[in-house]
A and B are shown apart, each in its own frame.
Chain A
Amino acid sequence: MRTHYGNWLGTILLGTTFTFGAAQAAPVEVNFYYPVAIGGPVTKIVDDLISRFEASHPDIKVKAIYSGTYSETISKSLAAYKAGQPPEVAVMLSADLFTLIDEGAIAPLDGFIKTDEDKAWLKGFSPVFMTNSQSDAKTWGIPFQRGTTVFFWNKDAFKEAGLNPDAGPQNWEEVVDFATRLTRRDTNGNVTRWGMQVPSSLTSYWLLQGYVAQNGGTIAEPTGDKTYFDAPEVVEALQYWTDLALKHKVMKPGVIEWATNPKDFFEGRAAMFTTTSGNLTNVKTNAPFPFGVQMLPEHKKRGAPTSGGNLYIFNGTAPEKQEAAFQFVKWLTSADQSAEWSIKTGYIAPRDDAWNTDAMQAYVKEFPGAAVPHDQIPHMVPELSTHENQRVARVIDDAIEAALTGAKTPADALAAAQQEAERILQDYR
């Protein structure tokens, strides 16, 4: 944090030196809520980006406010908005789009996009990421730190189990087969290493979406007012996931913590696991053994959900502040910064021109795993996003937890969830 203030101080001093005597108006201050949501020193990366933005835009000052997890960030931002002090710009889940629109909290960006350059910039984003950013023919958010789920495996464990360490499982059946061979039990029958782990302590609907997409289904309309939780494709997908733990007994039963899932992998207690692509750098740095990373295994087809955050500009602040916020958003998501952000954090750069930058090309050459999320883009489906998203997400998460812990069958749990989601969403049709 000291460096944080140091940077600011430096920027302010620099700014003062350059503008000294020019009698320039005070810089427009933009408050930026940012969820520190991945392991690693992300705050420093953000601070560094901001100080460079300020150096090139001396009339704008960006104040980063680190606001915890995504759910805390939206709580905080909406709270601040309702209290009449919204931040100018915030990174919040793309899935919270409808919630933000319903609260009237965010401004459409179309009014700010004026020049041809602006339009070309907007066109540069991959369509799958824009699904959760647009509604009613308006653009409400700009994809920033987007992710997807990817699949990791421990090559040493593969060798030990007599599997080819360079080939991860390619479909649902192979996952079960490999995981069965990888699961190790001690003489008492207690498991010392699980074959497979899928986290389920938070936003587990998101991992379910991957299975559903592979099974050729979908869990909700992109319009955000209709869910299909009890559709057969969804039930089969949850059945498969549940079976890993309860039938095949190759996955730890009960809810698996996001926070400890990578650590389980490093400790050798899980031989294969899925997690967010935001963990690439974490795994690369901390895995004490060679590991493999690939797209999610397929079933009827490939499939994976998008995830992560958009940049949103808030209503209720002065127009010049919104304009300044837009400049910041545009700068932050242009090709070079997008590539840099992706390299340093492991999030997916949501635009093709970022993948074509020299920096990104060099990085992918050095660490081929980084290309996996990019390769997965054509197979991606947008993350679940509905009105009252937090509540609907909680409903489906509860259903998944109930199934994984064996409290209900997948079909029963999902039928109840669908009924509850109907009740919540009927007001919005």
Chain B
Amino acid sequence: MTGAKNQITAWLLLLPAVVLLAAFTHVPAVMTFINSFYSTPRGTRPAKFKGVDQYANMLADPVFLAALKNNAIYAIGTVPAAIGLSLLMALIVNSSIRGKSLLRMSFFLPTVLPMIAVANIWLFFYTPGYGLIDRVLAPFGFAETNWLGDPSTALGSLMVLAVWKEAGFFMIFYLAALQQISPSLSEAASLEGASRWYFFRRVTFPLLMPTTLFVLINAIINSFRLIDHVIVLTRGGPDNASTLLLYYIYQTGFRFWDTGYAAALTMVLLALLAALAFIQFGVLDRKVHYK
């Protein structure tokens, strides 16, 4: 449909969505960029233009660098683990195994629950000495471990929780894709005597590629977006060993009230996400669902 009248109808239909999206996504993104060049107004002192000062401070800020490093570790650790496990789960649930609906439920259940609720429960699991994890490990001769209070395990503890929470969610996407693979393919392969591993590697996995890319992008976004468990479990400690970028932004913006610096930090996060968007739209577009 074309023509002036249709142009107007189309834009009227779009209007509410466009206004809201612009007001809470595009305009704030631009405003963040602008504000990142100003100091934070406080009480009687108005904001002053500071050029790239905030960015210079950032490079000298050990907490920011730690947050960036942690977020990279967090993404590199959780994303492949969540994808691998979710694929495995989908294969299990899609097989003829007995009790598969129970298994599917157990894998998917953590996804339904609020992160804040499960994080509070896990806080107890991680308690040194008498928490669930230490008690399960004690018979095997493990000493009491200060999971959340030791810089070498704090971030890892958050990552384990994140994988537990997310794998079931991604499983669903794989399950949907697996159910679209024709069973005749597997039959044909087995007639020809192909091993299952070979079949998985050469047929199933390539067919799942679009799903894997889709899940990959979403898992990476989540690794930058979800910090509820940081708030509950470690508050970024000890000594910023588990600070993530968005948590630091939250802390800077709403604990320290340093909105100028928070804007500069947000720009880094936006740049990372924009790079992801570019990869998704520009490079992977043909292979992923977005068609």
Contact = CB atoms under 8 A, between A and B. Distances in A.
Interface in A62-84: 71, 75, 78-79
B240 A398 contact: yes
21 contacts: A79-B254, A102-B43, A103-B43, A188-B141, A191-B143, A200-B149, A252-B128, A254-B150, A254-B151, A255-B237, A257-B149, A259-B123, A264-B129, A269-B129, A388-B256, A398-B63, A398-B240, A405-B150, A405-B239, A407-B239, A416-B62
A404 interface: yes
Contacts of B241: 405
A255 B144 contact: no
Given A202-B235, A398-B63, 6 more contacts: A103-B257, A252-B146, A267-B129, A267-B130, A401-B237, A404-B238
A398 B151 CA distance: 12
Contacts of B44: 104
Given A257-B149, A405-B150, A103 B42 contact: yes
A190 B129 CA distance: 10
A201 B143 contact: no
Contacts of B63: 398
Contact of A71 (B129, B151, B237, B255): B255
A260 B254 contact: no
Interface of B: 42-44, 62-63, 123, 127-130, 141-144, 146, 148-151, 235, 237-241, 251, 254-258
Interface in A244-272: 252-257, 259-260, 263-264, 267, 269
A343 interface: no
A405 B146 CA distance: 10
A390 interface: yes
Contacts of A397: 237
Contacts of B238: 200, 254-255, 401-402, 404-405
Contact of A75 (B141, B146, B255): B255
A123 interface: no
Contacts of A253: 146, 150
A400 to B, nearest CB: 8
Interface of A: 71, 75, 78-79, 99, 102-104, 188-191, 200-202, 252-257, 259-260, 263-264, 267, 269, 388, 390-391, 394, 397-399, 401-402, 404-405, 407, 416
B156 to A, nearest CB: 13
A200 B239 CA distance: 11
A349 B118 CA distance: 38
A99 to B, nearest CB: 8
Contacts of B143: 188-191
A201 B239 CA distance: 10
Contacts of A71: 255
A104 B43 contact: yes
B41 to A, nearest CB: 10
A402 B239 contact: yes
Nearest to B240: A398
Contacts of A255: 146, 148-150, 237-238
A215 B238 CA distance: 25
Contacts of B150: 253-255, 405
Contacts of B141: 188, 190
A339 B123 CA distance: 36
Nearest to B124: A260
Contacts of A391: 255-256, 258
Given A254-B150, A255-B149, A405-B150, A390 B237 contact: no
A169 to B, nearest CB: 23
Nearest to A269: B129
Contact of A102 (B42, B146, B235, B237): B42
A256 B44 CA distance: 40
A110 B232 CA distance: 40
Nearest to B138: A190
Nearest to A420: B62
Contact of B130 (A191, A269, A404, A407): A269
The 8 closest A-B pairs by CB, nearest first: A255-B149, A254-B149, A254-B146, A401-B238, A401-B239, A104-B43, A190-B143, A254-B150
Contacts of A267: 129-130
Q: Which of A104, A260, A402 has the most CB of B within 10 A?
A: A260
A156 to B, nearest CB: 18
A407 B150 CA distance: 10
Contacts of A257: 127, 148-149
Contacts of B258: 391
A202 B241 CA distance: 15
A403 B257 CA distance: 27
A296 B173 CA distance: 58
A75 B151 CA distance: 27
B230 to A, nearest CB: 13
A36 to B, nearest CB: 16
